[in-house]
Chain A
Amino acid sequence: MKSLDVVGTALTNTLRSKMRTALTVIAIVIGAFALTLTSGLGSGVNKYVSTIVDGYGDDSQMYVMAAADPTAQMPTGDGPTEFDPEKDGATGEFGQTMLTDRDIETIQGLDHVTAVEPIVFTSVDYLQGEDGRQWQVPSVGFPIDAPSLELDAGRAPEPEALELTVPNSWLESLGAETAEDAVGQTVTLAVSDVVGERHTVEAEIVGISAPLPSGVGSSILPSTALNAEIAAAQNTGLPEDRQNTYVQAVATVEDMAAHEMDVKNALVENDMMGLTMEDQLGMLRGIIDTVTWVLNGFGLIALLAASFGIVNTLLMSVQERTREIGLMKALGMSNGKVFGLFSMEAVMIGLMGSVIGVGLGLVAGLVGNTLLTEGPLSGVAGLTLFSVDPLALLWITLLILGIAFLAGTLPAARAARKDPIEALRHE
Chain B
Amino acid sequence: MSSVPSAPNSPPPEPSGAHGRHRVEPVLETENLVKVYGRGESRFDALKGITFQIEQGESLAIIGKSGSGKSTLMHLLALLDQPTAGVVAMHGRPVSQLKIKDVSGLRNATFGFVFQQFFLNPHQTVLENVTLPLKIAGVGRSERNQRGMEVLEQLEMADKAKNKATDLSGGQKQRVCIARALVNRPEVIFADEPTGNLDTATSEVVEDILFGLHRDHGITLVVVTHDDDLAAKCQRRLHMQDGLIVSEDRGVLSGTGGQS
* Chain A residues with a Cβ under 8 A of chain B: 1-2, 5, 9, 12, 16, 323-324, 326-337, 419-421, 424
**Residue among A12, A329, A424 with max Cβ neighbours from chain B (10 Å):** A424
Pairwise interchain contact A332-B80, C-beta atoms closer than 8 A: no
Alpha-carbon separation in the docked complex, A407 to B51 (Å) = 47
Pairwise interchain contact A334-B101, C-beta atoms closer than 8 A: yes
Pairwise interchain contact B80-A420, C-beta atoms closer than 8 A: yes
Q: Name A17's closest neighbour in chain B (CB-CB).
A: B123
Interface string of B130-149 (1 = CB under 8 A from A): 00110111101100000000
Chain B contacts of A421 at CB under 8 A? 75, 80-81
B169 at the interface (CB under 8 A from A): no
Chain B contacts of A333 at CB under 8 A? 104, 108, 136
Interface of B is mostly: helix
Interface size class of B (residues with CB under 8 A): 20 to 34
Chain B contacts of A329 at CB under 8 A? 104
B114-140: which have CB < 8 Å to A?
A: 115, 117, 119, 121, 123, 132-133, 135-138, 140
Alpha-carbon separation in the docked complex, A49 to B141 (Å) = 55
Pairwise interchain contact A331-B80, C-beta atoms closer than 8 A: no
Known: A421-B80, A421-B81. A2 touches B108 (CB 8 A): no
Alpha-carbon separation in the docked complex, A335 to B102 (Å) = 11
Interface of A is mostly: helix
* Chain B residues with a Cβ under 8 A of chain A: 75, 78, 80-81, 100-101, 104-109, 111, 113, 115, 117, 119, 121, 123, 132-133, 135-138, 140-141
User: Which one of B113, B119, B140 lies within 8 Å of A323 (CB-CB)?
Assistant: B119
User: Which one of A12, A324, A332 lies within 8 Å of B107 (CB-CB)?
Assistant: A332
Pairwise interchain contact A332-B140, C-beta atoms closer than 8 A: no
Chain B contacts of A334 at CB under 8 A? 100-101, 104-105
Pairwise interchain contact B119-A2, C-beta atoms closer than 8 A: no
Alpha-carbon separation in the docked complex, A336 to B141 (Å) = 21
Alpha-carbon separation in the docked complex, A336 to B80 (Å) = 16
Chain A contacts of B141 at CB under 8 A? 5
User: Which one of B117, B119, B121, B136 lies within 8 Å of A332 (CB-CB)?
Assistant: B136
Chain B contacts of A336 at CB under 8 A? 101
Alpha-carbon separation in the docked complex, A337 to B137 (Å) = 11
Alpha-carbon separation in the docked complex, A331 to B184 (Å) = 10
Chain B contacts of A420 at CB under 8 A? 80
Min C-beta distance of A165 to chain B, whole Å: 72
Known: A1-B135, A332-B137, A333-B104. A327 touches B109 (CB 8 A): no
Min C-beta distance of B199 to chain A, whole Å: 23
Chain B contacts of A335 at CB under 8 A? 100-101, 104
Alpha-carbon separation in the docked complex, A420 to B100 (Å) = 13
Q: Name A336's closest neighbour in chain B (CB-CB).
A: B101
Alpha-carbon separation in the docked complex, A336 to B104 (Å) = 11
Chain B contacts of A331 at CB under 8 A? 107-108, 113, 132-133, 136
Pairwise interchain contact A16-B123, C-beta atoms closer than 8 A: yes
Alpha-carbon separation in the docked complex, A419 to B113 (Å) = 16
Alpha-carbon separation in the docked complex, A249 to B137 (Å) = 78
Pairwise interchain contact B105-A5, C-beta atoms closer than 8 A: no
Interface CB pairs A-B, < 8 A, 16? A1-B135, A2-B140, A5-B141, A324-B121, A327-B119, A327-B121, A331-B107, A331-B132, A332-B133, A332-B136, A333-B104, A333-B108, A333-B136, A337-B136, A424-B117, A424-B119
Chain A contacts of B119 at CB under 8 A? 323-324, 326-327, 424
Known: A334-B101, A334-B105. A328 touches B113 (CB 8 A): no
Pairwise interchain contact B107-A1, C-beta atoms closer than 8 A: no
Pairwise interchain contact A330-B123, C-beta atoms closer than 8 A: no
Chain A contacts of B137 at CB under 8 A? 1, 332
Chain A contacts of B115 at CB under 8 A? 424
Alpha-carbon separation in the docked complex, A323 to B101 (Å) = 20
Alpha-carbon separation in the docked complex, A225 to B100 (Å) = 90
Known: A420-B80, A421-B81. A330 touches B105 (CB 8 A): no
Alpha-carbon separation in the docked complex, A328 to B81 (Å) = 15
